[in-house]
Amino acid sequence: MEDKPILHVSQVGINFGGLKAVDGFNLKLYPGELIGLIGPNGAGKTTVFNLLTGVYTPTEGEIMLNGERINGLAPFKVTRKGISRTFQNVRLFNEQSVLDNVKVAYHSLARHSIISSIFRLRNHFIGEQEMEAKAIDLLKIFQLDKVKDEKAKNLPYGGQRRLEIARALAAGPELLLLDEPAAGMNPQETNDLMELISFIREQFNLTILLIEHDMKLVMGICERISVLDHGLLIAEGTPDEVRNHPKVIEAYLGEEVISNHA
Ligand SMILES: Nc1ncnc2c1ncn2[C@@H]1O[C@H](COP(=O)(O)OP(=O)(O)OP(=O)(O)O)[C@@H](O)[C@H]1O
């Protein structure tokens, strides 16, 4: 593990009216790590993703990406800085083809790149043909190249979830945030997804933060896990440490028992 974290979140919080949805949240992610973020419903997990990606601005604390403060940057700027995400409920352009769903991610980068190049920033314009070739290469990895001309809405659910990850990768992230990628998948699809996540981590040199309710998936592939409950970080550690943590057991009481799944 390298010494410098790619992401360093310190004491981050946000209020919605009277509700502290996230309070004093801390997280360090090191390059190449695959870390899980778990917690009961309403614990604040998606809110953390929204804070990290500029959807919400923290009311307190600091989010540092590669040593640079990114609190409250517009979401497209956060993407350009190297953070991509998927959503809890799949968000695709349903009427567009599978291929266009990925190409649109390259297009949005390219549009910013033109502006960037005028101001001599680092992004470069990617030509249309190059974009298409890159998109098809990505679709191959996700076994979606054969259905590239299908409308996204016609893909089976597992395919739509994979397409969302492919689109997130098109933005060329260093850090990928996956919000319940296995939601609604059957056990076979979930297993395939676990392998796919491990594969893309290696292939694309990614650091991955994963929200997931499927404990088998989380415990099976994550090196470390952070646990939120009512907006507070109640535990962090290896899957074994977290599974046996009294506060975690208490938080999950009445839900599925974590230890049964691992
Ligand atoms: N924009 C918002 N305005 C008001 N309250 C919000 C907003 N976004 C989230 N919340 C509240 O913040 C709390 C945390 O929600 P969040 O969606 O982050 O939980 P979660 O851990 O992702 O839950 P789940 O596992 O059910 O997806 C909830 O009480 C939710 O109602």
Atom of ligand 1 nearest to the CA of 231: 14
Say what the pLDDT of residue 262 is. Answer: 43
Cβ(159) to ligand 1 under 6 A? Answer: no
To test the ligand 1 pocket, which listed residue (45, 55, 88) has its Cβ within 8 A of the most ligand atoms? Answer: 45
DSSP sequence for the chain:
--SS-SEEEEEEEEEETTEEEEEEEEEEE-TT-EEEEE-STTSSHHHHHHHHTTSS--SEEEEEETTEE-TT--HHHHHHHTEEE--SS----TTSBHHHHHHHHHHHHHHHHHHHHHTT-S-----HHHHHHHHHHHHHHTT-GGGTTSBGGGS-HHHHHHHHHHHHHHT--SEEEEESTTTT--HHHHHHHHHHHHHHHHHTT-EEEEE-S-HHHHHHH-SEEEEEETTEEEEEE-HHHHHT-HHHHHHTTTS--GGGT-
Tell me, what's the pLDDT at 131?
82
- At 161, the amino acid letter reads R
pLDDT at 254: 53
**207 within ligand 1 shell (Cβ under 6 A):** no
Convert the pLDDT of each residue in 196-235 to its tens digit: 999 999 999 999 999 998 888 899 999 999 999 999 999 9
pLDDT at residue 217, as a whole number: 87
Ligand 1 atom with the smallest distance to the CA of 48 is 18
pLDDT at 163: 94
Mean pLDDT of 140-164: 93
Ramachandran area for residue 141 (φ above 0: left; ψ -120 to 50: alpha; else beta): alpha
Supply the pLDDT for residue 92.
86
Q: Whose CA is nearest to atom 9 of ligand 1?
A: 47
Write down the pLDDT at residue 130: 78
Question: What whole-number percentage of the chain has pLDDT above 90?
Answer: 62
Alpha-carbon torsion 109, 114, 117, 121, what sign? negative
1-82+173-262: which CATH topology? Rossmann fold (3.40.50)
> Which tokens is 143 given?
């076994």
The pLDDT assigned to 144 comes to 95
For residue 66, is pLDDT > 60? yes
Cα–Cα dist 130/107, whole Å: 11
CB-based contacts of 140: which residues, under 8 Å, 6+ apart?
A: none
Domain regions of the chain by residue span? 1-82+173-262, 92-170
State the pLDDT at residue 255.
59
Higher per-residue pLDDT: 62 or 87:
62
Q: What pLDDT score was predicted for residue 261?
A: 47
Is residue 258 within 8 A of residue 248, CB to CB? The reply is: yes
The reported pLDDT for the residue numbered 251 is: 85
Mean pLDDT of the chain: 87
Q: Which residue's C-alpha comes closest to atom 5 of ligand 1?
A: 16
18-50 pLDDT, tens digit per residue, is: 889 999 999 999 999 999 999 999 999 999 999
Closest ligand 1 atom number to CA of residue 43: 21
Which one has a higher pLDDT value, 175 or 132? 175
Q: How far is the CA of 13 from the centre of ligand 1 (A)?
A: 13
Atom 31 of ligand 1, nearest CA residue: 42
Q: 188 CB under 6 A from ligand 1?
A: no
State ipTM: 0.95
CB-based contacts of 134, cutoff 8 Å, min separation 6 = 106, 126, 170
Sheet containing strand 68-69, edge to edge, reads 19-29, 7-16, 60-65, 68-69
More confident site: 56 or 88:
56
Please indicate whether residue 13, judged by its CB atom, sits closer than 6 Å to ligand 1: no
Residue with CA at minimum distance from ligand 1 atom 3: 16
**Sign of the alpha-carbon dihedral angle for 27, 253, 241, 31:** negative
pLDDT in tens, 79-128: 999 999 998 877 888 889 999 999 887 766 655 555 554 554 545 455 67
